Amino acid sequence: MIQPKILRALRLYDMVWRLCIPLLKLNSRLKDGYASRCSGDGLKHTDIWIQAASAGEAYLALSIIENMSPVTPIHVLITTNTRQGLDIITNSLDAATHSNQVTARCAYIPFDRPSVMDKVVQRICPKLMILLETELWPGLLFALKKNKVRSILINGRVTPKSLQHYMIWPLLWKTLSPDKILAISDDDADRFATLFGQKKVQTMSNIKFDRLKTTINKTDNPLTAFLPYAAPFLVLGSVRQPEEYQVESIIRKVQFSLPKTIIGLFPRHMHRIKHWAQTLDRLNARWILRSELNREPVAEGTIILWDTFGELNPAYALAKAVFVGGSLVPLGGQNFLEPMIFGITPIIGPSWENFAWAGNGIFDQRLAVKADNWQSVASGLIRQLQQTSSADSHQAAAIRYLEARKGGTLQACDLIADLLNPKSGK
């Protein structure tokens, strides 16, 4: 029984949404699919509804679908908040579902207005709702409770700061709580238990580990022809705009200490190519665009400015040292696990919150190095470029670390199968 004060709060929440929705059409991100976000009219009956907020959660949803093995055919609806999430799902659904008894479609999730969500849940009438990571929307959760739809939170994570916000009114969240929470760490599980109660919470391995490929194809690397064997190759990967000045300083220090080093510079966003071209000219550096390379090796001391997509991993495979960006300023970091799989010990800056799920053990085992500032990053890269490589032993240790943490997807799929089975009694 939902307390009257919570019902009053939800009516007020509904009123706020009613007033705000017309203004949201002005938002460049939300105007895409605006009509369907307002009503959810195009959504139809489904067996499982998965909510995947954006790109990261979209990949998790695909992993779950790929590993489902239902006894009878089931239909899945995946909703998302962003165009990027929608594109990822749309482009991968056929491959994800072609070998099992799952059919799926995707759409934008409606705005969280309780009256709209209630109609949507009644129309979809799912047997199970799957929420990924931290998708706690009051309107959606209330509609699920009201219509007696089971819900589970998979790959759950919640920061201490977010928990503080939820604890402003803990009774609301305990009332609307999902039926089961699988959290990705003991710390996350403890925080969810504080909010929802210990009985509902279990831990699981992060599904993101399952998506990391630890088998390497060492043949046919398209970059081999460009890189002279004798010259050390440094990759500065996924460099973000707010840290460009620090990365420029790293380039200067490396070129001063080891002038023969070939540097592969990978801006995270292509619209920064022009900026970097101007910067390298200002530094009087020898540089060339990746798109202008022919089949002959580049000269020692050249900076290759990458203006093409899809070659960061092949570059990691040939690198002697790697810096991964998004980490010198508070941006949360970019993926530094991929170079580890090639036997590289990547160096990152102090910001790595986006990959905290990977665990501090990565640094304790020296599978990656976390530096305090750009000066420490530069010094560490220079040391690595000067050292004799031990890539095979590093690669084996990295693969052991990552493989030991896989299995979250199958754990989640087992729980889903149990909840869909009416004989389970769970």
Work out the angle at residue 96's Cα, subtended by the Cα atoms of residues 91 and 101, and round it to the nearest 5 degrees.
135
Sorted by where each starts, the structural domains of the chain and their CATH numbers stand as 4-205+407-420 (3.40.50.11720), 224-403 (3.40.50.2000)
Q: Where are the beta strands (DSSP E) in 6-81?
A: 48-51, 74-80
Phi, psi angles (nearest 5°) of residue 275: -60, -45
Contacts of 307 (CB under 8 A, 6+ apart): 270, 273, 289, 290, 291
The DSSP secondary structure of 93-107, one letter per residue, reads HHHHHTTSSEEEEEE
What's the predicted TM-score (pTM) here? Answer: 0.83
Q: Please check whether residue 155 is in contact with residue 60, taking contact to mean a CB–CB distance below 8 angstroms.
A: yes
Burial class (CB in 10 A: 0-12, 13-18, 19+), 253: middle
Closest CA relative to residue 350, chosen from 363, 367, 366: 363
Q: pLDDT value at position 422?
A: 63
Q: Is the dihedral of CA 372, 376, 380, 381 positive or negative?
A: positive
pLDDT, tens digit only, all 426 positions of the chain? 789 999 999 999 999 999 999 999 999 889 999 999 999 998 999 999 999 998 889 999 999 999 999 988 999 999 999 998 999 999 999 888 877 799 999 999 999 999 999 999 999 999 999 999 988 999 999 999 999 999 999 999 998 989 999 999 999 999 999 999 999 989 999 999 999 999 999 999 999 999 888 887 766 888 998 988 778 999 999 999 999 999 999 999 999 999 999 999 999 999 999 999 999 999 999 999 999 998 889 999 999 999 998 899 999 999 999 999 999 999 999 999 999 999 999 999 999 988 888 989 999 999 999 999 999 999 999 999 998 877 888 999 999 999 999 999 999 999 999 998 866 444
Q: Please check whether residue 326 is in contact with residue 274, taking contact to mean a CB–CB distance below 8 angstroms.
A: no
The percent helix, strand, coil of the chain (3-state, each to 5) is 50, 15, 35
Q: What is the per-residue pLDDT across 39-82, written as a single tens digit (0 to 9) for each?
A: 999 899 999 999 999 888 999 999 999 999 998 899 999 999 99
Q: What tokens does 298 get? A: 């580049």
